[in-house]
């Protein structure tokens, strides 16, 4: 027969797995719907992420962007090259740093798409009250530490 500690441990493991599945499902559903929403502009969520970070910072190094996206500088290079070819961003090299900024077209996209995507994400979380959203944000921050 299992003791109370073992039963409690199994419940914690089951709860952790359930939390992981729910978070993963929500995330994947949200990304899929975000990609669908961003198709209007022929953008992926990764490209949108770049436009947001570069647009908010006005000028950012490729390394700073990679850090914000939680990827390596090498991983972001291919994405940036494609976005540069689309005339959404421009890269400038200064000594050892590559700086990124939005082109005029990129700025227009930023001004049009960011409010639309913000509204879309607001709707995704509208089932939660503002206090619940803040609580969720704090819990996710705590998990990220």
Could you read off the pLDDT of 50-66 as tens digits, one per residue? 999 989 888 888 888 88
Domains of the chain: 42-144 (1.10.10.10)
Q: Choose between 59 and 73: higher pLDDT.
A: 59
Query: What DSSP element (H or E) covers 90?
Result: strand 89-94
- Across the chain, mean pLDDT equals 86
CB atoms within 10 A of CB 51: 22
pLDDT of residue 103: 93
Check whether 77 has a pLDDT greater than 90: no
Distance in angstroms (rounded) separating the CA atoms of residues 142 and 8: 23
Average pLDDT over residues 58-78: 81
pLDDT bucket at 3, cuts 50 / 70 / 90: low
pTM above 0.85, yes or no: no
Decide: helix, strand or coil at residue 29.
Answer: helix
């Amino acid at each position: 027969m299992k003791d109370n500690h073992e039963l409690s441990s199994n419940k914690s493991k089951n709860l952790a797995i359930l939390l992981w599945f729910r978070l993963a499902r929500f995330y994947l559903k949200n990304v899929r719907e975000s990609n669908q929403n961003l198709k209007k502009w022929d953008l992926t969520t990764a490209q949108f992420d770049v436009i947001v970070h570069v647009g908010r910072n006005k000028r950012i190094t490729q390394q700073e962007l990679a850090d914000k996206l939680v990827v390596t500088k090498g991983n972001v290079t291919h994405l940036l090259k494609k976005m540069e070819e689309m005339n959404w961003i421009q890269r400038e090299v200064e000594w050892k740093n590559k700086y990124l900024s939005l082109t005029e077209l990129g700025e227009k996209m930023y001004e049009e798409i960011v409010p639309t995507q913000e509204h879309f994400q607001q709707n995704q979380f509208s089932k939660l009250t503002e206090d619940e959203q803040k609580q969720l944000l704090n819990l996710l921050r705590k998990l990220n530490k």
